[in-house]
Amino acid sequence: MPNILLIDDSSMTRRVLSHTLKKGGHVVVLAESARQALDYLAGAVVDLAIIDLHMPEMDGFAATRAIRQIELLGGRYIPIIAMTASVVEGGRDKCIAAGMDDYVSKPAQLACLNETIQRWMDAPVDSS
């Protein structure tokens, strides 16, 4: 079972997506802030992270940079899927350029979210 770290400041989004992901057979760890997620990652392993782009204190871009720094210090690679309700032209490219692996819009369509997660769970790991 893949462990998914869901980082979102909205309790409603966390509740709905957690329920949906668990029904799909995933183990879901919830974080209501990027800081809480980074604290969790200091002592745990996850297979994938879904990060809301617009959170107070530390947004999804800053969180992604921090996760990528953890990886440079010996952590394993974590595919990151950006999630936002503010869909703008070029948003996907901005997320990819910031170190994220993929992008979904809110409210997340179940089929699209599952397809995106599966694509990254099946991706070969670059060991270089």
List the Cα angle 11/4/30 in 5-degree steps: 25
Q: For residue 89, is it within any domain?
A: yes
Structure tokens at 27: 């183990």
Q: For residue 126, is it within any domain?
A: no
pLDDT in tens, 55-99: 989 999 999 999 999 888 877 899 999 988 766 667 788 888 999
CATH number at residue 36: 3.40.50.2300
Contacts of 115 (CB under 8 A, 6+ apart): none
Q: For residue 111, is it within any domain?
A: yes
The mean pLDDT of 20-46, rounded to a whole number, is: 91
Question: Which residue range is the domain that position 66 belongs to?
Answer: 3-121
pTM for the whole structure: 0.88
**In this structure, what is the dihedral angle of CA atoms 90, 62, 2, 92, given to the nearest 10 degrees?**
0
Specify the number of domains making up the chain. Answer: 1
Q: For residue 31, is it within any domain?
A: yes
Q: For residue 128, is it within any domain?
A: no
Q: For residue 127, is it within any domain?
A: no
Q: For residue 97, is it within any domain?
A: yes
